[in-house]
Structure 1
Amino acid sequence: MKQVLIAALASVTLSTPALAQKLAIVGGQVYTQTDQGVIDNATVLINDGKIEKIITGTQVPGGYEQFDAKGKVVTPGLFGAMTSLGLVEVESWAGTVDASVDNARISKTGAAFDVSYALNPDSTLMDVSRIEGVTAAATTISYTDYLFHGQGSIISVGADEPLVKRRAFIVLDVSASAAEASGGSRAALWVTLEQLFNEASVLSSVPTADKPWHGLNSRADLPVLKKILAGDMPLVMHASRKSDILQVLAFKQRYPDINVILMGADQAWRVADKLAQANVPVIVNPQMNLPESFDAIGATMQNAAILDAAGVVVAIGMETHNIRLATQHAGNAVANGLPHTSAIASLTSNPAAMFGVSDRVGSLTVGAQADVVVWSGDPLEVTEYAEQVFMAGEAIDMTSRQTQLRDRYMKLHQSDGATPVQYIKP
């Protein structure tokens, strides 16, 4: 009897989309994030965890398990443009925080740090994020007194082996907070930065351990700066006020091969045309419209719309614990002038392209990893939600610690005979 039951359960499991080698997501409005654009009543064909083809209509070839998406919206999995996912659990508990570096002898500047060694795929924030549609993310150190924030990674959110691309980018803060850690002035910060890159550029090779070295960079830092100078590793420069952004553009002009991405950018709308001309993409939080610091004076919720209209490639990003709310923030950007298609791109294809992984994530292009989200409706509306997320073609469990806690206390509440009056997001 026990063997019969096990066999029956196995049969049921193997017939579900979760383990299907060939899967068809049928009949949805599909945002391909490719030259195919948005296709109504389309079917996404998935084979062996990859996007095989997108076809118009609902006629599915034989051999495919089917997931009904009629009347739904289908998008690529969302890309968290700048997070510390997998590096932090509880910010106030040091044992769960690898997103902060105070002191390490291996590096003089922070460039050598590599977050891929610290990633925790079992972080509860992974499930919280991916059931809201976030399937990939750029993750890195969020706080350090060093000039550079170490080498960040691109991850597949919640996967057992999360690394999509290690040593994928590096963050450099050139805002007021970074100036405080560099002698208290931007006058020291920028001179230090120039000297570091000049030193790396004139060296034909990295000094070996058997030779004395007394440079500004440590031996571990130098290979990283050389990769940045060659354009092989994007340099994400954090700046908010106009004058700092102009310094970033001047830096880009002096080092044209460096692949610069601007982050923060609260006053970027004031120099949108210059950013477009320099082909510098921007990561913004469209909700930033308050002068939280002197750097943020003039911040506006129209920032993303103005940048997009000028031709700047825009991605939407925010801090780790709230990256699940990225669609809501994108919706607010739409309410303030950002075109809807641009908002979807800012959550998917744009950040993937910025970080050089657009062939793998961020779109439904043929051959890409089949990270797909089926939404109940417009994903930028707060009353709609991700009904089912597929990662590498497999349907994930749409629960997290938060949903389990919700269900526990909803049951306790209802057992008292009360009817909940608050809105409950499925």
Structure 2
Amino acid sequence: MNRVLTLAASAIALCAAPAAAQDFVITNATVVTGDGSEPIASGVVVVDDGRVVYTGPQAGAGAFDTATVYDVGGAWVTPGLVATVTNLGLSDVSAVSESNDIRPGSSPFNAALDVAPAINPSSQHILVHRAAGITRAATVTAPARSIFGGQGAIIDLGADGQPVTRARAFQMVAFGESGARLAGGSRVATYAAFANALYEAQAVAAGRWDAESAMLTRADAEALVPVVKGEQSLYMAVERAADIRSVLALKQSFPRLDLVLVGVSEGWLVAREIAAAGVPVIADGLDDLPGAFEELAATQSNIGRMAKAGVKVAINASAMENPRNLNQYAGNLVSLTRIPGADGLTWGQAFAAISSVPAEISGLKGRAGVLAPGAMGDVVVWDGDPLEVGSVPTRVFIDGVEQPLDSHQSRLRDRYRDLDESDLPKAYDW
């Protein structure tokens, strides 16, 4: 009996073990490196032991020391897309509270919330977005009872059951109108709450914690220590130009803050100031209808104008109905360059805004979002131009391992797509 149990346990362990990275070469491809440059015609990508070792023209690739060669017949090949900011892996059915970990509205903690243990790699949202070419993402809970939303994680969307690339990678905080609501009904209260939280974090770091006078829990104050030390990025959700200026000014009081601006609908009005501060932006894709007073100056040219001013800009996945639309939004920014008076992005810039730029903001510079020597083997083969709305991936590799592209959605499609009109779904048989 013990032997049977041992064999069963061994079988389970083997099934759970991550697949080994593949050594492969993709030839005859239209290669996109992801660094902002234009595509390479008749290019080659070589992946060895899960890492990219060569990307470029066929002539420079040399001999292929591998048995696995994919001739893709001119198809587009890109690095995996990087989605930031998202809640991927935190819910199955958002309307079912038991399966939804996005907004911890009754928790006594805020900054101390660590999203990493709650991420479900089997979530259908992860499967669907993997099939859309997204291989890495930043995921975090939403601010609920405080301006602080908690500590986000960088994840991969692989099928190996080990999603977390980097836990506690950044802290999320809400400013502007949403922050004002959470802090007590006014922007004045937001800034006071924020400053007090960082002062309490500094007190903890210096060994001067006073539990009786503190407004934060000790766990929350301790979670903010890496923020005040500049060891953890601070993602600040802000929209209005005046609020952006005020947030940038916070570095005068807290010079070590590693700021990242999120949302930034009116960023174009203060683009030179953002660029001068060297603060990167994760901007909403194509805002042009003010959904709030803080977005009255929203324009589809926002990202293009900030990029023109020298701001490092990634496209914000959380502002979309679905992060898998990242490539569609990037393609629309390319189309804006053809409209008189509008400002968009070149093709290379637009693709970088959903690949290498969000990867760099996420602390993965040179490791994700690019096809360059030493980068993770996150490779996507497309059936057309990846910035065209109808294009879809035909192959996705993460860390050099080819991934399944099926999901609950695709299985439902396949189940019912070819039914005769006289057939009814099985649920109606009774």
TM-score (norm 1): 0.87
Q: Which residue of 2 aligns with 1:78?
A: 81
Q: Which residue of 1 aligns with 2:389?
A: 382
Q: Which residue of 2 aligns with 1:91?
A: 94
Secondary structure class of the residue paired with 2:417: helix
Contact 1:266 1:299 in 2 (8 A): yes
Q: 1:143: Cα distance to partner?
A: 4.4
Contact 1:371 1:392 in 2 (8 A): yes
* Distance in structure 2 (CA, Å) of the matches to 1:407 and 1:151: 39
1:252 aligns with 2:259: no
* Distance in structure 1 (CA, Å) of the matches to 2:211 and 2:178: 34
Contact 2:227 2:257 in 1 (8 A): yes
Say if 1:238 and 1:413 are closer, same or farther in 2 by CA, change over 3 A: farther
Superposed CA deviations along residues 137-184 of structure 1, whole A, max 9, x for unmatched, are 000012412120000000001441000000000111002122012111
Q: 1:101: Cα distance to partner?
A: 0.9
Q: Which residue of 2 aligns with 1:172?
A: 173
1:287 maps to amino acid? L
1:392 aligns with 2:399: yes
Q: Which residue of 2 aligns with 1:273?
A: 272
* Distance in structure 2 (CA, Å) of the matches to 1:398 and 1:349: 23
Q: Which residue of 2 aligns with 1:287?
A: 286
Superposed CA deviations along residues 304-356 of structure 1, whole A, max 9, x for unmatched, are 11111111111112238611111001111122221211111111110111121
Q: 1:20: Cα distance to partner?
A: 6.8
Q: 1:114: Cα distance to partner?
A: 0.3
* Distance in structure 2 (CA, Å) of the matches to 1:254 and 1:21: 49
Q: Which residue of 1 aligns with 2:182?
A: 181
Contact 1:375 1:385 in 2 (8 A): yes
Q: Which residue of 1 aligns with 2:8?
A: none
Superposed CA deviations along residues 233-253 of structure 1, whole A, max 9, x for unmatched, are 110000111111111111134
Q: 1:409: Cα distance to partner?
A: 2.0
Q: 1:213: Cα distance to partner?
A: 5.0
Contact 1:154 1:166 in 2 (8 A): yes
Q: 1:70: Cα distance to partner?
A: 3.1
1:388 maps to amino acid? R
Contact 2:77 2:380 in 1 (8 A): yes
Say if 1:292 and 1:244 are closer, same or farther in 2 by CA, change over 3 A: same
Say if 1:253 and 1:205 are closer, same or farther in 2 by CA, change over 3 A: closer
Q: Which residue of 1 aligns with 2:153?
A: 153
Contact 2:34 2:348 in 1 (8 A): no
Q: 1:414: Cα distance to partner?
A: 6.9
Q: 1:64: Cα distance to partner?
A: 3.5
Q: Which residue of 2 aligns with 1:326?
A: 326
> How many residue pairs were aligned?
394
Superposed CA deviations along residues 44-88 of structure 1, whole A, max 9, x for unmatched, are 111121112224217641323011223111111000111000001
1:327 maps to amino acid? N
1:131 aligns with 2:138: no
Say if 1:321 and 1:391 are closer, same or farther in 2 by CA, change over 3 A: farther
Say if 1:76 and 1:386 are closer, same or farther in 2 by CA, change over 3 A: same
Q: Which residue of 2 aligns with 1:305?
A: 304
Secondary structure class of the residue paired with 1:172: strand
Percent sequence identity over matched residues? Answer: 36
Q: 1:38: Cα distance to partner?
A: 4.0
Secondary structure class of the residue paired with 1:412: coil
1:326 maps to amino acid? L
Q: 1:103: Cα distance to partner?
A: 2.4
* Distance in structure 2 (CA, Å) of the matches to 1:345 and 1:119: 27
Say if 1:368 and 1:414 are closer, same or farther in 2 by CA, change over 3 A: farther
1:367 aligns with 2:367: no
Contact 1:131 1:399 in 2 (8 A): yes
1:91 maps to amino acid? S
Query: 5+ residue gaps in structure 2?
Result: 1-18, 337-343, 424-430
Q: Which residue of 2 aligns with 1:114?
A: 114
2:54 maps to amino acid? K
Superposed CA deviations along residues 232-277 of structure 1, whole A, max 9, x for unmatched, are 1110000111111111111134323211111111111111111111
Secondary structure class of the residue paired with 1:101: coil
1:347 aligns with 2:347: no
Q: Which residue of 1 aligns with 2:16?
A: none
* Distance in structure 2 (CA, Å) of the matches to 1:232 and 1:129: 30
* Aligned positions of 1:43-58 closer than 5 A: 43-57=44-58
Stretch deviating more after TM superposition (368-377 or 260-269): 368-377
Secondary structure class of the residue paired with 2:202: helix
Q: 1:36: Cα distance to partner?
A: 7.9
Stretch deviating more after TM superposition (35-44 or 191-200): 35-44
* Distance in structure 1 (CA, Å) of the matches to 2:65 and 2:119: 40
* Distance in structure 2 (CA, Å) of the matches to 1:344 and 1:197: 36
* Distance in structure 2 (CA, Å) of the matches to 1:241 and 1:197: 23
* Distance in structure 2 (CA, Å) of the matches to 1:46 and 1:398: 20
Q: 1:207: Cα distance to partner?
A: 6.4
Q: 1:375: Cα distance to partner?
A: 1.4
Contact 2:79 2:371 in 1 (8 A): yes
Q: 1:380: Cα distance to partner?
A: 0.7
TM-score (norm 2): 0.86
* Distance in structure 2 (CA, Å) of the matches to 1:127 and 1:69: 24
Query: 5+ residue gaps in structure 1?
Result: 1-17, 417-426
1:162 maps to amino acid? P
* Distance in structure 1 (CA, Å) of the matches to 2:387 and 2:56: 25
Q: Which residue of 1 aligns with 2:103?
A: 100
Say if 1:46 and 1:179 are closer, same or farther in 2 by CA, change over 3 A: same
2:237 maps to amino acid? H
Contact 2:383 2:394 in 1 (8 A): yes
**Cα RMSD after superposing both structures:** 2.2
1:31 aligns with 2:38: no
* Distance in structure 1 (CA, Å) of the matches to 2:54 and 2:420: 47
